């Protein structure tokens, strides 16, 4: 069932290409604005870059999550599958995995222009950056999917997702920014592994919590 | 029948108001906990018990949420909402008294101290909680969503606290009872003020709880 739900989202995205395209273009536009706004202090850009990167990721994630859950609202898809004998927790895990795939894919696309536009030196391990992006994005989408599920029926849905997500995900913003900053400053992984642990804990706690409560959120 | 027409409610509210006056008198007349800070230090007598109260109330929101999701009794939803409303009021008091104390002590109104920052983030999450309750869908849905957000907010507390604590290790100079103040162990004083505040909270909770039930009956 888990694989079917992930494949369903991937297949819809493969046909429409709307989630990744909109996330990529939005990420690129925000990066451009940051690059222009910070031209006044090019020397400082290296210090600001980790924070800017995670602001872009957080904003694009909201866009992607909003659209990913809207798929369940279109044509009343939610009512169709919620009427069947399907474990809603599994649906939540499927949504987290789909969101993770979409957000990471769009990150791969806009991270290159991010480094180019901000003139950032690439003097770090790509594997370690990938690890931070994976765990940090996982932490954002775990709580993001939960909030998107909660606000699925809300009239002010577009406003409620960021209002609830940004403060809840603030530990992720702090931990991911610190991790990335220390990586950009060529510090060894032993100096920032506790930040990674906070991100990992956030990811695991909210994925498990979402799995447990999603059947209470989506009821017939 | 109006709330204050009930004799016991009126007596309880009267005692609460009298105790509030006594509380203010105690806070003003006690010696400052740290002579160097003068009268500004006295705000600490109210800041600490108010903080205990606010976090206790938010803890009760989580407990009410768990009870509501497991038992599905609407009484727990009304309790959760009342705890959240009064808790947010006390959170606002923390965010007011904290900076008033921080300015003379540290030179800034907002020093990014972990406990104060955690309070601000929780306060923001709960503002989102009230928006969700207002625009989240029908009454039965928002009750479930409110319960989930109440639990989610409290699960976030340790993650927020530790990420802010590691983020700014220099802020560990936050006063600790028994080590920072001239008067030594202030725990008994805080406990007396906390008991007085508890009486006011019970009174306020009773009113909010009743308003919540009346509102529900009116909608139905």
Each residue's pLDDT tens digit, A65-80 = 988 888 887 777 777 7
Between CA B202 and CA B190 the distance in angstroms is 18
Give B101's contacts (C-beta < 8 A, 6+ positions apart). Answer: B37, B40, B41, B43, B44, B47
Nearest to A175 among B122, B153, B163 (CB): B163
- Please check whether residue A209 is in contact with residue B155, taking contact to mean a CB–CB distance below 8 angstroms: yes
Confidence of residue B177 (pLDDT cuts 50, 70, 90): very low
Tell me if A153 and B152 make a contact (CB, 8 A cut-off): no
Between CA A77 and CA A83 the distance in angstroms is 10
pLDDT number for residue A41: 72
Q: Could you tell me the residue ranges of all domains in chain B?
A: 3-219
What are the average pLDDT values for consecutive 10-residue runs of chain A, which has 220 residues?
A: 87 88 93 84 80 94 90 76 82 93 93 89 87 95 93 84 93 92 88 89 94 83
Q: B135-144, B174-183, B192-201: which range is least confident on average?
A: B174-183
Is residue B174's pLDDT more than 70? no
- Cα A113-A114-A115 angle, rounded to 5 deg: 90
The residue of chain A with its CA nearest to that of B153 is: A168
Between CA B13 and CA B149 the distance in angstroms is 31
Each residue's pLDDT tens digit, B149-172 = 999 999 888 888 888 878 776 665
CA dihedral over A150, A153, A157, A160, signed as positive or negative: negative
Between CA B28 and CA A77 the distance in angstroms is 61
> Average of pLDDT values for B109-116?
84
Confidence of residue B220 (pLDDT cuts 50, 70, 90): low
Is residue B8's pLDDT more than 80? no
Nearest to B121 among A155, A170, A206 (CB): A170
Which chain B residues touch A if contact means CB-CB below 8 Å?
Answer: 69, 121-122, 124-125, 127-129, 131-132, 135-138, 141, 144-145, 147-149, 151-153, 155-156, 159-160, 162-164, 166-167
Between CA B51 and CA B93 the distance in angstroms is 8
Q: ipTM score here?
A: 0.89
Each residue's pLDDT tens digit, B116-151 = 888 999 999 999 999 999 888 788 888 999 999 999
pLDDT number for residue A27: 93
Helix, strand counts (H, E) of chain B: 6, 0
Cα torsion at B73, B76, B78, B82 (round to 10°)?
A: 180
Is residue B64's pLDDT more than 80? yes
> Average of pLDDT values for B98-122?
85
Radius of gyration for chain A, computed over Cα atoms and rounded to the nearest angstrom: 18
pLDDT number for residue A148: 92
Between CA A28 and CA B15 the distance in angstroms is 61
Is residue B56's pLDDT more than 70? yes
What Cα–Cα distance (Å) separates residue B157 from each residue in A203, B55, B59? 15, 10, 10
pLDDT number for residue A142: 95
Q: What is the pTM of this model?
A: 0.88
Between CA A29 and CA A106 the distance in angstroms is 13
């Amino acid at each position: 069932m888990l694989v079917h739900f992930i494949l369903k989202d991937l297949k819809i995205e493969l046909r429409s290409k709307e989630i990744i395209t909109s996330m990529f273009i939005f990420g690129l536009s925000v990066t451009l604005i940051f690059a222009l706004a910070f031209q006044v202090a090019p020397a400082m850009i290296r210090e600001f870059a980790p924070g800017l990167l995670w602001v872009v990721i957080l904003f694009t994630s909201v866009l992607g999550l909003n659209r990913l859950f809207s798929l369940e609202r279109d044509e009343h898809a939610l009512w169709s599958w919620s009427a069947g004998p399907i474990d809603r927790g599994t649906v939540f895990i499927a949504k987290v995995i789909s969101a993770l795939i979409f957000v990471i894919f769009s990150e791969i696309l806009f991270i290159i222009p991010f480094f180019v536009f901000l003139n950032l030196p690439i003097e770090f391990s790509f594997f370690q950056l990938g690890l931070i992006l994976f765990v940090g994005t996982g932490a954002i989408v775990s709580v993001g999917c939960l909030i998107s599920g909660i606000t699925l029926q809300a009239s002010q849905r577009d406003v409620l997702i960021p209002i609830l997500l940004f403060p809840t995900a603030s530990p992720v913003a702090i931990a991911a920014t610190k991790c990335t900053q220390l990586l950009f400053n060529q510090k060894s992984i032993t100096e920032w592994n506790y930040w990674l642990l906070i991100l990992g804990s956030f990811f695991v706690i909210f994925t498990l919590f979402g799995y447990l409560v999603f059947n209470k959120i989506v009821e017939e | 029948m109006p709330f204050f027409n009930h004799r016991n409610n009126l007596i309880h509210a009267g005692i609460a108001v009298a105790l509030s006056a006594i509380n203010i008198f105690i806070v003003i007349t006690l010696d400052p906990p740290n002579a160097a800070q003068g009268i500004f230090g006295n705000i600490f007598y109210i800041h600490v018990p108010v903080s205990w109260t606010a976090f206790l109330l938010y803890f009760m929101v989580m407990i009410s949420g768990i009870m509501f999701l497991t038992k599905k009794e609407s009484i727990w939803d009304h309790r959760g909402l009342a705890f959240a409303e009064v808790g947010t009021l006390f959170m606002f008091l923390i965010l007011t008294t904290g900076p008033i104390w921080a300015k003379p002590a540290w030179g800034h109104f907002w020093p990014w101290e972990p406990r104060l920052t955690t309070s601000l983030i929780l306060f923001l999450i709960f503002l989102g909680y009230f928006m969700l309750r207002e625009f989240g869908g029908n009454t039965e849905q928002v009750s479930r969503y409110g319960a989930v957000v109440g639990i989610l907010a409290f699960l976030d507390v340790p993650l927020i606290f530790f990420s802010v604590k590691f983020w700014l290790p220099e802020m560990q100079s936050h006063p600790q009872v028994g080590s920072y103040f001239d008067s030594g162990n202030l725990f008994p004083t805080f406990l007396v003020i906390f008991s007085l505040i508890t009486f006011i909270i019970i009174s306020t909770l009773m009113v909010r709880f009743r308003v919540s039930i009346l509102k529900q009956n009116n909608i139905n």
